[in-house]
Structure 1
Amino acid sequence: MTGGAAQGQGAQGQGALAGRRVLYTGASGGLGHQTTLDMLDAGAEVFALDRDQSKNESLLADTPDDVAARLHLLEMDLTDQDALTAKLAQITDNKPLDVVINNAAIYPSKPFEDFTMEELRLVHQVNVEAALICTRAALPGMRDQGWGRIINVTSITLTGGWENLAPYVQSKGSLLGLTRAWAREFGKWGITCNAIAPGAFPTDAEKIHPDPDGYRKFVLDHQAVKRRGTPHDIAAAILFLASDGAGFITGQNLAVDGGWNMT
């Protein structure tokens, strides 16, 4: 572990999440990696769920020594729902989770008619059902303490601008619906539920595009802000929605996309 990772760039600053216990799926991915580091820097204890061993190792290597004790890397396949449920029961056995970030997703790309029903079900299982299980596990503790933050990661693809991603877009639409349903149902217990819709960030997801330079131009032409987004941009939004300061915001889908979609 090193102290070389960038720190202190979250919207809330150091200590804003002190003592908060955070469950984060897909925590070692392109956007999750930096958000995890920023949450640790803000004082959170983070339970990072990701099945990619190499990305988990990279996250661990970038975690400064002085916060490493608050990072719990859990290498898990979210399709193993029994194992996931059991692990969550262990995490919540003695202390509640304060924040749940449902971020993990797979994004196969091909024409809709080429997907098998098994492939469609797999996308739903990872992108939606894992969120159901994580939220259900955290809810009793949040309800008992009268405080909680649920953050679902949706997508700019819900605006309809991309082809060949039907099961992914469907799954993100499900998360948006759950965001609003949970916000309405859980608000009476002091629990907020919001979504973040990332724009076109330079992550592994872009590797599916055959013309990277052309795609970069396409992105910048559509954005009002003429630079590519960075993981810190997502981290700042998540840190805000996870904070005390966002306690009167719920049921919203915050676009973090450089002004691509203005609705």
Structure 2
Amino acid sequence: MSVRFVMTGRRVLYTGGAGGLGAETTRALLSAGAEVHVLDFDAEKIAALEGAASEATADRLHLHRIDLLDKPALAGLLGTLAAERAIDVVINNAAIYPSKPFEDYSDAELAAVHGVNVEAAQLCTRAALPGMRAQNWGRILNVTSITLSGQWENLVPYVQSKGSLLGLTRAWAREFGKWGVTVNAIAPGAFPTDAEKIHPDPEGYNAMVLDRQAVKRRGSANDIAAAVMFLASEEAGFITGQSLAVNGGWVME
């Protein structure tokens, strides 16, 4: 995507920034001049992102392979990063999305979804907040989901976790605004990523998505990158506590 916003010198912490919808946003942030710390667990996607980095941006891309359920390791990494200098932007994007009837989930599975999708976001935000507060500037973006509209089944813990992130978006926005920190959510629609592999009939699902969207094309990672770049920019400083739906007009709020 073309660079529309200048982020030179900004430090970005991005969970899940190597795969799915994340890699394109990481590249957009790097192209805009940001230093990006990607926290991801998928070694293959990390290697692909590293290999695709240009010589001009490679020194500003920092890849950290980490299991977000390993809280001591995550806390240690976040402490190290925050101690170096302020983290300007946090993008809480990482998520896991097992699919089956609610009664079939074990307590451990429910806890794992909440741990990755919500608790890791809380830890990342808590680590970055002191630096943001000290400089009176910060951007926190929580990636939620179109599934909050209630049109999907067999995703209860995932939907629950995204509802938690939406609630955190509003509560954090209210609490952090006095320090020049904005907090917003981005709610992607149905994008053709690995998440769609849970569907038994990919072609039928694709047709269903296009039928329900007002815009008759599938979304791309660039669509999410554009939303992130705007909400992370200086220009979005008067927008907080909001949820931006990027779904081709499937759900209109």
TM-score when scaled to structure 1? 0.95
Identify the match of residue 22 of structure 1 among 6, 12, 22. Answer: 12
Q: What does the per-residue CA deviation read over 1:31-76, in whole Å, with 9 as the maximum and x for residues that have no partner? A: 0010000100010000000011000001011111110000000000
1:196 aligns with: 186
Runs of 4+ more than 4 Å apart: none
Identify the match of residue 159 of structure 1 among 149, 167, 173. Answer: 149
Matched, 1:182 2:175: no
Matched, 1:9 2:12: no
Identify the match of residue 134 of structure 1 among 108, 119, 124. Answer: 124
Q: What does the per-residue CA deviation read over 1:192-245, in whole Å, with 9 as the maximum and x for residues that have no partner? A: 000000000000000000111100011001111000000000000000000000
In 1, Cα distance between the equivalents of 2:2 and 2:74?
A: 31
Read off the aligned partner of 2:12 and give its amino acid letter: V
Structure 2, unpaired ranges of 5+:
none
2:71 aligns with: 81
In 1, Cα distance between the equivalents of 2:12 and 2:62?
A: 10
Matched, 1:120 2:110: yes
TM-score when scaled to structure 2? 0.99
Name the SS of the counterpart of 1:74 in structure 2: strand
Shift of 1:94: 2.8
Structure 1, unpaired ranges of 5+:
1-7
- 1:206-221 → structure 2 map (5 Å cutoff): 206-221=196-211
Name the SS of the counterpart of 1:235 in structure 2: helix
In 2, Cα distance between the equivalents of 1:144 and 1:259?
A: 39
Name the SS of the counterpart of 2:185 in structure 1: strand
Name the SS of the counterpart of 1:254 in structure 2: strand
Identify the match of residue 145 of structure 1 among 127, 135, 145. Answer: 135
In 2, Cα distance between the equivalents of 1:116 and 1:261?
A: 31
Q: Is the 8 A contact 1:9 1:236 kept in 2?
A: no
In 1, Cα distance between the equivalents of 2:216 and 2:235?
A: 29
Between the two proteins, the alignment pairs up a number of residues equal to: 253
1:3 aligns with: none
Name the SS of the counterpart of 1:92 in structure 2: helix
Percent identity over the alignment is 67
RMSD (Å) for aligned C-alpha atoms: 0.7
Read off the aligned partner of 1:192 and give its amino acid letter: T
Read off the aligned partner of 1:219 and give its amino acid letter: V
In 1, Cα distance between the equivalents of 2:31 and 2:23?
A: 13
1:110 aligns with: 100
Read off the aligned partner of 1:196 and give its amino acid letter: I
Matched, 1:51 2:44: no
